[in-house]
Amino acid sequence: MKNAQLSATFDQMADIMEILGQDRFRINSYRKVARTIGELPVDVAMLLEEGTLGKMPGIGKSSLAKIQEYLESGKIAAHEALLEKIPTSLLELLEIPGMGPKGVKAFYDKLKITNVDELKKALADGSAATLPGFGEKKAAALQKGIEFLETSAGRIRLDQAADAAHMVIGHLQRLPGIDRVEPAGSLRRRAESIGDVDILVTTGADKKKSGLTPKEIIALFTTAPFVERVLAAGETKGSAIVQTETTPVQVDVRVVPAESFGAALQYFTGSKPHNVRLREIAVKAKLKLNEYGLFRGERLVAGATEEEIYEKLGLDFIAPALREDRGEVEAAANHSLPKLLQQSDVKGDFHMHTLASDGRAEIEEMAEAAQTLGYAFICITDHSESSIIANGQTPKRLARQIEKIHKVDARLRGITVLAGAEVDILADGKLDFDDALLAHLDFAIASIHSGLGSPRAKVTSRTLKAMDNPYITCIGHPTGRLIGQREAMDIDMAAVIEHAAQTQTALEINANPYRLDLKDTHCRMAIDKGVKLAIGTDAHSAAGLGLMPFGVATAARGWATPGDVLNTLTPARLKTFLKTKRPR
């Protein structure tokens, strides 16, 4: 699928045109095309061939021709022409959180700044302050954005790493004689961002069974069609830059003997602190633990499986998601590890958007897609009025939407469709809808979408005030972060969690890989206080419902059990829970 590349190309055209001060109508048109293509659940090429692409909102004849041009040649002439009008390095400035095309234009036009280093100098020597309307507050925000960009450089989102691993693993599994192929590292732990992807391969105990040597396996990996650049290719390890649909990813493949596969999988999966703890336990037992196995002297005690490694060390098996040295080793030693939430425990999804706001599907489509996933319920939560860019609903439109949801719920069999909304928390802590309307909702998510850079006391106060409302069930993406793009709000999460416990308000784990908000450590803080978690995909299409496993993994990293998460309830038990906060 070329959807992501096409979407990024149209967005970049809009960015360049905005920097150049060109026609606002065309800029908005390109933005709409980018968003439409980016959210398509199917291949844009297939829709073009069917003749249905041109019927989608925002895609006119001119855009359709550009899409066809890209699919045929891999480029768009209009895009190439725009790139020639600005220094390429100017686009680097757009990666700084808080820096939009208007800001880039101002720095370029007035100070001739074309890259991040020049901007850093302008901020340091005070020349940036000469720009109209540019003060200390904006300078501090940009400086903070640059620091964030530099610290997150080289890391990718969990979904991007998973895409690369899926592609490479699929390729390796098709090779003759391959016994096992497994991801390792931070990807297997389901960390929120990944440096590079580690994959382990074994050809089985009987090496004669395979016609491929380890070196040949590495060669077949590094010469695969998806490899953009080879970094290393040795006897048992290869490293390459793999091009996925959205981004280049470094993938390291290691071929290990079957008798050491479990030890290698444990070694390359555990965080450094976790592995140090295991080696300390091994030393006390007069054993030696490394990537080749667990040894007593020269004799191999364990190594073929991870389970036997942990068992020989006197520990219960520790799930990969927990291997961060956050108490899991002690819990494994005293047999008190939690029974972690799994995808199979999930009975529904609490956060999704339809055509009523900025979604791409009708209520029925979302419900039918949820049924194919085996869900017993979903909650429709379209945006509220203040989210203008997301086509937020007015009170009248929401009232009609509630009626429509109830009709769909009554008509469908085998799934409960709850009426909800994602309600903006306004600057003063008030909500976009009044209590009279909120009372008609089954499930109301309150979220902050504006003023995320406000002082700690303000964003915290806004969130606490929203939780005081008896009709607010859940706080959506509580820190507002976008992984690799925007820092979390400076919000007092301890105070938020404490108040959530007092008001019986759930906190969301937004499963979108851009967010994963709450993050794992905040999930654990919430669980320790008895706060319920609600996982929502924030889906804008039926395909978006498939993001749920990322939310489940984040919950598991926070030590969540099925009892900690509302998604595991049956519709009947969920409705009982939802009544607990509301006035009688």
Instruction: Share the mean pLDDT of the chain.
Output: 93
In this prediction, residue 524 carries a pLDDT of: 98
Average pLDDT, integer, range 438-453: 95
Q: Comparing 23-32, 37-46, 269-278, 438-447, which segment has the lowest mean pLDDT?
A: 37-46
Q: Is the pLDDT of residue 206 over 60?
A: no
- Going by C-beta distance under 8 Å and a sequence separation of 6 or more, which residues neighbour residue 432? 384, 385, 386, 392, 423, 424, 426
Q: Compute the distance between CA of residue 44 and CA of residue 267 in angstroms, rounded to an integer.
A: 41
Q: What 3-state class would DSSP assign to 168?
A: helix
Q: Comparing 129-138, 250-259, 474-483, 549-558, which segment has the lowest mean pLDDT?
A: 129-138
How buried is 413 (Cβ within 10 angstroms: 0-12 exposed, 13-18 middle, 19+ buried)?
exposed
Task: Judge whether 422 and 351 are in contact, CB under 8 Å.
Answer: yes
Q: What 3-state class would DSSP assign to 28?
A: helix
Average pLDDT, integer, range 152-167: 91
CB atoms within 10 A of CB 152: 16
pLDDT tens profile 269-315: 999 999 999 999 999 999 999 999 999 999 999 999 999 999 999 99
Q: Which domains are seen in the chain, by residue range?
A: 1-86 (1.10.150.110), 89-140 (1.10.150.20), 157-333 (3.30.460.10), 343-578 (3.20.20.140)
Pairing type for strands 293-296 and 299-302 reads: antiparallel
pLDDT tens profile 75-110: 999 999 999 999 989 998 998 888 889 999 999 999
Of 192, 131, 132, 203, residue with least CA distance to 161: 192
Task: Judge whether 303 and 310 are in contact, CB under 8 Å.
Answer: no
In this prediction, residue 3 carries a pLDDT of: 84
Using 50, 70 and 90 to split pLDDT, how confident is the model at 204?
low
In this prediction, residue 208 carries a pLDDT of: 54
Q: Compute the distance between CA of residue 268 and CA of residue 262 in angstroms, rounded to an integer.
A: 10
H or E, element range at 161: helix 158-173
In this prediction, residue 342 carries a pLDDT of: 98
Task: Judge whether 384 and 421 are in contact, CB under 8 Å.
Answer: yes
In this prediction, residue 235 carries a pLDDT of: 95
Backbone angles phi, psi at 88, to 5 degrees: -60, -35
* Residues belonging to the chain: 584
The region, left, alpha or beta by phi > 0 then psi within -120 to 50, assigned to residue 477 is left
Q: Compute the distance between CA of residue 453 and CA of residue 498 in angstroms, rounded to an integer.
A: 23
Q: Compute the distance between CA of residue 385 and CA of residue 511 in angstroms, rounded to an integer.
A: 24
Q: Compute the distance between CA of residue 5 and CA of residue 246 in angstroms, rounded to an integer.
A: 7
Distance of CA 313 to the CA centre of its chain: 35
Average pLDDT, integer, range 109-125: 91
Tell me which residue has tokens 């984040």: 554
Using 50, 70 and 90 to split pLDDT, how confident is the model at 151?
confident
Q: Compute the distance between CA of residue 473 and CA of residue 466 in angstroms, rounded to an integer.
A: 10
Q: Compute the distance between CA of residue 188 and CA of residue 526 in angstroms, rounded to an integer.
A: 24
In this prediction, residue 390 carries a pLDDT of: 86
Tell me which residue has tokens 């009044």: 434
pLDDT tens profile 505-518: 999 999 999 999 99
H or E, element range at 349: strand 348-349
Q: Compute the distance between CA of residue 545 and CA of residue 370 in angstroms, rounded to an integer.
A: 7
Amino acid at 279: R
Q: Is the pLDDT of residue 36 over 90?
A: no
DSSP class per residue in 391-458: TPBPHHHHHHHHHHHHHHHHH-SS-EEEEEEEEEB-TTS-BSS-HHHHTT-SEEEEE--S-TTS-HHH
pTM: 0.86
In this prediction, residue 510 carries a pLDDT of: 98
Q: Compute the distance between CA of residue 388 and CA of residue 397 in angstroms, rounded to an integer.
A: 14
Q: Is the pLDDT of residue 51 over 80?
A: yes
Rg (CA), the chain: 26
Across 46-60, 135-149, 415-429, the highest mean pLDDT is recorded for 415-429
- Which residues on neighbouring strands pair with residue 383, listed in sequence order? 422
Q: Compute the distance between CA of residue 323 and CA of residue 272 in angstroms, rounded to an integer.
A: 9
pLDDT tens profile 535-569: 999 999 999 999 999 999 999 999 999 999 999 99
Task: Using alpha carbons, list the distances in angstroms from residue 255 to 180, 269, 443.
Answer: 10, 15, 50
Distance of CA 489 to the CA centre of its chain: 17
In this prediction, residue 54 carries a pLDDT of: 85
Average pLDDT, integer, range 365-375: 97
In this prediction, residue 207 carries a pLDDT of: 52
Average pLDDT, integer, range 171-197: 95
Question: How much of the chain, in percent, has pLDDT values that exceed 90?
Answer: 79
Pairing type for strands 193-194 and 156-157 reads: antiparallel
